[in-house]
Amino acid sequence: MKEKTYVITGASSGIGEALAMTYATRGQNLVLAARSESELDRVRAACERAGGHVLTVKTDVTEIDACKNLVERTIDHFGGIDVFVNNAGLSMWARFEEITDLSIFDRIMKVNYLGSVYCTHFALPHLVKSKGLLVAISSLTGKTGVPTRTGYAASKHAMQGFFDSLRIELMDKGVDVLVASPGFVDTGIRERALGPDGTPREISPRDEEKGTMTTDECNRILVDAIDRRRREVVMTSRAKMGLWLKLLAPRMVDEIAKNAVKEKR
């Protein structure tokens, strides 16, 4: 395989870490970005053992200068960008009427949506040069509303609209845009999800044994979509059926979403 440079935000755990490990085994160039230096160092060591060429850049995607620095460091080190994966994310689990800290909405929108916008802005000229691929890790909540996830769903709807629009703008530039929409994945994101007071819940509020995709399965589907430069991937057959059903029986889809996020008792 031709050596390419992959930039992955949110690379210190979950989907980002799994994706990094896959491309490390292929001997690719990797730029791993996240807020935790210690976790980045752990993933870097594992990727280097697997055969990857790795640069880590501590990055808070809510800061414009940090996103600019990430891209500049990448170009200085590897000379270009072939694939940029916007994966950094923050979740929530709280009914809107129970929320006491409205800053949750600002924080989630800055990480999930604006962080992707900032990174994409600085990476885009280099992706145009390489005729590369932009990847947005969205969610099924970017397709339909889900209770307890109002702020999260809003940020993922924003991502979907941004990248769908950008894809059309780039049609004649040779840059492809992939929006990936996983469902529940066992990444630990729900343990870190913000509760009604704005602090992490620490314990997942849902039964993780029901309807949860493994990180490995999610990664397999995502890697296939990246390698094939697909425009979109919805990761479960149930979700695909739900999108069609939403057109025909939207109230039924609301009931399904309601039952899917019932908390453990």
Residues labelled as active-site residues: 152
- 124 and 137 Cβ atoms separated by less than 8 Å: no
Q: Which of 125, 34, 152, 161 is nearest to 88 (CA)?
A: 34
| 98 class by beta-carbon count within 10 Å (0-12 exposed, 13-18 middle, 19+ buried) | exposed
Residue that the structure tokens 């040779």 belong to: 174
Q: Which two tokens stand for residue 197?
A: 């007071």
| Exposure letters 158-184 (e unless 16+ CB within 10 A, then b) | bbbebbeebbeebeeeebbbbbbbbbb
Residue 90: closest CA among 70, 116, 71, 66: 116
Six token digits for residue 187: 């990444």
Q: Contact 242/130 with Cβ under 8 angstroms?
A: no
Measured in whole angstroms, how far is the alpha carbon of residue 6 from the centre of its chain? 14
